[in-house]
Amino acid sequence: MYGEYLENPMIDLGCGDRDYIVRQIAHACHQYGFFQVINHGVSKETMEKMLQVSKEFFDLPVEEKMKLYSNDPTKTIRLSTSSNLQKEKIHNWRDYLRLHCHPLDKFTNEWPTNPTSFKEIVSNYCMEIRELGLKLEEAISERQHMAINYYPQCPEPELTYGLPAHTDPNTLTILLQDTQVTGLQLLKDGKWLSVKPFPNALVVNVGDQLQALSNSKYKSSWHRAVVNAHKARISIATFLCPSNDAVIKAPRELIEEEEEDSEAIYRDYTYAEYYTKFWSRNLDQGHCLELFKN
């Protein structure tokens, strides 16, 4: 079910050689749109507690969790299931809690009070992961969302996915994976490769906006989550996003790097326009960015 493992680029952010780090990141963004980082500055304790409190949240009684249930993607916090219940034909094997988390003081008041440590632990995680996100993302990101994913054990994992093949609509995604259960796969040269959980590493992937901003130099790769017959799996995805009114437009220098007067691959658009389009479609309807081609 997991197929082959990705010989994944593992980038040591603590190696002290900034030029080397930058070259490795550029290479990984170009080749895979995916990489893992270690010595990234997010503490081991923060990561462990985040995974633990996420599990505790999903272990709460259904009635308790249902207080947060909604299928409205404009909500700043919502518990939901599958991917897009209204549009999809086959439902996926996933529950998720999606919450806005920057700036923290604007959103924490709507977060769950059960488990009691949720707010504190998740706030710490958001702050530490944002530091990393800003380090990784040169452009200043004004928004940050996250999805805490729970993939229950699945009696027939061959019949469904936790999350079917998709690309992420945001700029950059940082994923904290379950330390025990493999599930994330990415498509590379027509093959699905599993991204092995590696102790204390975080998975980073390029989203659609970075592909557009780089005029497709950097790839927003297809990826998916498979489920496991014996174990539930948790993952925490942090999505760095442009602000809603940001106009996404690749710089002229980049477009003309190879040939003068070439045209940008994508037309200019606002992130709000993209995000609305993304959520109005089903994940299996192809790369959303195709719809923004010039």
Residues 216-275 that bind Ni ion (CB under 5 A): none
> How far apart are CB 236 and ligand OGA at their closest, in Å?
8
Q: Give rounded-to-5 percent helix, strand, coil for the chain.
A: 30, 25, 45
Q: Could you tell me if 248 and 183 are in contact, meaning their C-beta atoms sit under 8 angstroms apart?
A: no
**DSSP codes, 4-44:** EEP---EEETTSS-HHHHHHHHHHHHHHTSEEEEES-S--H
Verify binding: residue 168, Ni ion, rule CB under 5 A: yes
Return the number of the residue (172 or 250) whose C-beta is nearest ligand OGA. 172
Amino acid sitting at position 285: Q
The SS3 of residue 148 is strand
Q: Residue 154: which of Ni ion, ligand OGA, none does it interact with, CB under 5 to 8 A by kind?
A: none
Q: Residue 184: which of ligand OGA, Ni ion, none does it interact with, CB under 5 to 8 A by kind?
A: ligand OGA
> How far apart are CB 169 and ligand OGA at their closest, in Å?
9
Return the number of the residue (95 or 168) whose C-beta is nearest Ni ion. 168
Return the number of the residue (112 or 207) whose C-beta is nearest ligand OGA. 207
> How far apart are CB 40 and Ni ion at their closest, in Å?
19
Strands 10-12 and 34-38: parallel
Residues 70-89 that bind Ni ion (CB under 5 A): none
Residues found near ligand OGA in the complex (CB under 6 A): 147, 149, 163, 168, 175, 183-184, 223, 225, 235, 237
CA distance 128 to 121: 11
**Nearest residue to Ni ion, using CB?**
168
Q: Could you tell me if 269 and 294 are in contact, meaning their C-beta atoms sit under 8 angstroms apart?
A: no
